[in-house]
Amino acid sequence: MAMMLLLTRKTLCWDTSALAIGVGYVQAGAPDILGVGPKGRLVACELKAKGGKLTAPQRKRGEQIKAAGGRYRVCFTLREVLDAFGHA
């Protein structure tokens, strides 16, 4: 649902779970959605259900993304996903 909503807003983004199907290229801790946000900045969203928590590899990947200048967000709602990509 989050991907569909982003795509209807013409957001350049990828569902990393789709990249892993049958090829195994996605590393542990990879965020669920990667994309390009405002001003060309990398945006990474980890999607969690209410009460969900990050795993150790997810925390590490988030720190790496932020250290490289990207935006990393843990999102529990569609609104949080839209906000991460600058669609307030």
What are 21-38's pLDDT values in tens digits?
555 666 788 899 999 988
How does residue 79 score in pLDDT terms, banded at 50, 70 and 90? very high
Strand ranges across the sheet with 13-15: 13-15, 33-36, 42-47, 71-75
- Domains defined for the chain, CATH in brackets: 2-17+31-84 (3.40.1350.10)
Please report the pLDDT score of residue 27 as a whole number. Answer: 76
Helix (H) or strand (E) holding 6: helix 2-8
CB-based burial label for 33 (10 Å; 0-12, 13-18, 19+)? buried
| Residue 67 backbone class (left: φ over 0; alpha: ψ -120 to 50; beta: rest) | alpha
Q: What is the pLDDT of residues 50-59, one digit of tens each?
A: 999 999 999 9
